[in-house]
Amino acid sequence: MTTVASRSESMLRYSTAAESKDQRDEIATEEPLEIRVEGHSIAVVMRTPGHDRELAAGFLLTENLIRTTTDIFEITQCDSAGRENVINVTLRNPHTFDPAKLTRHVFSSSSCGICSKATIEAVRQFFPPIHDGAILPAQTLIKFPSRLRAKQETFNRTGGLHACALFDLDGELQALREDVGRHNALDKLIGRAVLDDQLPLHGRVLFLSGRVSFEMMQKALAAGIPIVAAISAPTSLAVEFARESNQTLIGFVRGETMNIYAGASRIDVGRS
């Protein structure tokens, strides 16, 4: 089956300067993906099809159901009604799977991840604080928005996807994932690192196209990422979490400016 991240749809184009007319527009695809572990359904996420194995692996890691790629025996995708919208993860040690550790309800929308959490206590997964001496020059960071946008292929066609990118401290783009849900995009990015056995992602920078929520910071912590930056704003809980977990959090990276909310010692602003 060919993965389709976007598709053409008919629409009526209205303009005050011209006559309305029927046209076609490229729309981001959104479909459900059921994630199963050992045949047990644990979540349904609304996502953009593509990189589904990564999404499942990243989801399980950030939900604290696995810790490394060695915990996974196999990830298989099932064809359901002509669409590959079911994925099953088989564990190397099935007896370690405890559905009670899952903090989500079964359904999660593409717009929000934290709203599907069962309790406030369950939201605060236990991952150790970051101990990473990474230093990122501010002049390198301000180049990230343009580098991200240049690689957002599906966004450039649809204007409707979030993006998460992983950079090294020299500003080199290492990986990028897009999705209708920003937490899905991040799970895909982290899942790729899980499957490549690259965790923890010390000395890396996570750059987001949208706002930074508590859950995005927690997912970054699960992957060992010390620096999280975004074009948009952070939430108050994201800032609080970053300070508690010893992460660096930067928002509003636009033009020649940025706001450093936590972990400023990791950002070299060029002061003498």
Q: In this structure, are strands 31-37 and 18-28 parallel, antiparallel, or unpaired?
A: unpaired
- The DSSP 8-state label assigned to residue 130 in this structure reads P
Q: Which residue has the tokens 């074009």?
A: 231
Cα angle for residues 210, 237, 167 (degrees, 5° grid): 40
SS3 42: strand
Q: How far apart are CA 197 and CA 18, in angstroms?
A: 55
Encoded tokens for 215: 């859950």
Pairing label, strands 72-80, 136-137: unpaired
**Residue 187 and residue 181: Cα distance in Å, rounded?**
10
112 is catalytic: yes
Q: Are 242 and 263 in contact (CB under 8 A)?
A: yes
* Nearest alpha-carbon partner for 134 in 266, 1, 225, 268: 266
**Residues 230, 162: contact at Cβ < 8 Å?**
no
Q: Active site residue: 78, 112, 115, 164, which one?
A: 112
Residues paired with residue 45 on neighbouring β-strands, in sequence order: 33, 108
Active-site residues: which are they?
A: 112
